[in-house]
Structure 1
Amino acid sequence: MPRRTATMLASTLMLIALLCAGVFIKVPYAEMSPGPTVNTLGDHGGEPVLQISGRKTYPTSGHLNMTTVRVTSADYKMNLVEAVYGWLAHDNKVVPHDTLYPDGKTEEQSTQENAEEFSQSQESAKVAALKELHVPVQSWVIVSTVVKDSPAEGRLHAGDVIKAVDGTTVKAPGDVAELVTKHKPGEDVVFTVVPAKEQAAAEKANRPATRTEKVTIRTRTSDDDGEKRAIVGIAAGTDHTFPFTIDIKLADVGGPSAGLMFALGIYDKLTPGNLTGGKFVAGTGTIDDGGKVGPIGGIEMKTVGARDKGAQYFLTPADNCAAAAKDTPGGLTLVKVKTIDDALGALKDIREGRTSDLPKCTAKG
């Protein structure tokens, strides 16, 4: 066999061997890629994404698209060939597995956490939109979760309304931890609560909940790293009662990052005129009850997904601007927003054609 042919054959066999090895070698990485985008003003799965009853709504046009990121599952074992392909692919991103699933988090745990964050983001979007419209919303502090095998298990329940701790009125979720940690581990703390069933019955009957209970719980020492403190094993949150019904119908989506776009969609449906002026606007960002927009993960994937669907403008959390501006898809304008007011101001500029006035993202933020 000629030397040149032998060399080519040996090289080909070596390449095949390397590719085969790469398929079987597992690496501790996961992949992110652009996910679906959904118009909050439109339909999804055959029904409107935003459904409002008990209040006058107005026709809308254009797009206010929320964006998503598709990720490999927690138990998926990426091989070396897939990792290299992902690193080379422009629209995908390969990251350490622990970045997406820290502390050995399972697929089930991740899904549950994302579902809870998604639900909370919907509530905050409703509150932020209605506050912007000066529509009153009733709010109160509740027991959000009870930790298994904690002192509070069986004594407090998810949905209980926390009125006071040790006789001090509770006004925000953070007040609960602050009052509990004034104690030393092993001391008793007294919660004044409206039981969840009583609160639900009162809401159904459209009356105030009047029956309260005092629940005494002995604190124990925290298990986490850092300074030891007294805990009872609950997480406090906020619940709301709205003066009319707002339902968000969107399955198979998780996490908190659609909050801003939901809030804008609700605002648009409750006000005359078109918020977008018929333009295709997409975006992302968490939102709190006060309308503050927070950063999210996977911004580069979301801008690509939005542009692929035809978006012209992308509402970008200020803290994500620098990362997004490093590789902006062609034809997409990144608009920096810190609050829902910023977003509404930007949308006014867009629909009135004053695009030079838009606060645009730069590589510096």
Structure 2
Amino acid sequence: MTEMAQMYDAVVIGGGAAGLSGALVLSRARRSVLVIDAGRPRNAPASHAHNYLGREGIPPQELLAIGRAEAAGYGAEIVEGEAVSAGKLPGGDGFRVLREDGTAVTARRLLVTTGLVDELPPIPGLAEHWGHDVLHCPYCHGWEVRDRPVGVLAVSPMAVHQALLWRQWSDDVTLFLHHAPEPSDEEYEQLAARGIAVVDGEVSGIESDGGRLTGVRLAGGRIVPREAVVVQPRFTARSGVLDGLGLHPTALEAGGHTIGTYIASDAAGATEVPGVWVAGNVANLMEQVIGSAAAGLKAASALNADLVADDTRRAVEARRAPFSAEAERQVCEKTLGSRRHGLQETR
């Protein structure tokens, strides 16, 4: 293992919207910052990012490139690669982060913004169309499939809610029950009132033609024409780097069903391990891009305030410390210049 000599004020693990936003805040606060970016943004399959005020419809990679340039412009260092583990330094004053190339860096504080992984049901065709015709968030993609035939694949007790939500964007919505629980009488009434068709039976695959989704195939062979399919993935936090610090993911449940995992934190992103903050999807599974950027700002501000308190504590301790020989030498150098303890240096 090769260890870099510099100790950074903060190492940011993850170079998405949350991480780059945090790096921008910290570098503008005149902190030394290193961003370690594995280059696996969650929204990579999508062609555009939405609901980001001032950047509506921007390609995700372009948004990240702008963010990197802005953070680097204030002195943040950005390196590519994966951080594989993090641990406390001996004595507990700071952290060591090990990268996949065997190098290690140290930091006074950590901001972890590693995001999450969308785990799709094992149905042929879903992964191939993910982010284009297979979707999960209506606020991210609803406008793009407005007025088109939409199918909602039920994989959790939240399926009826999904179908009713997507009905806002299209009046042609079909709910495929697949393996989900049967809707209640009240839910059936709601679906009928909104004109949402319900199809029983297991879904066996997604049909496509020329790279475009064309339908949903049932186990019995029937194909229901659709142009977009909605599915709720399991949202799994990318949190392995935190295992060595004792920070493990918490399950998030909805309707008695586990929909994902996240790293618990307070409102500002502080975890139960002092000196470690989290932001973005690793801490909030439902956060969109603009919310992740805001969370990175909030966490970085709290992190910097913590560093200010630590800097102040150290300064007070130094001021109160006994006057040592080394301190006396430094004072003499500063006040006497070339003279030493009242004696003029002779030539």
Larger radius of gyration: 2
Query: What is the TM-score when the length of structure 2 is the normalising length?
Result: 0.27
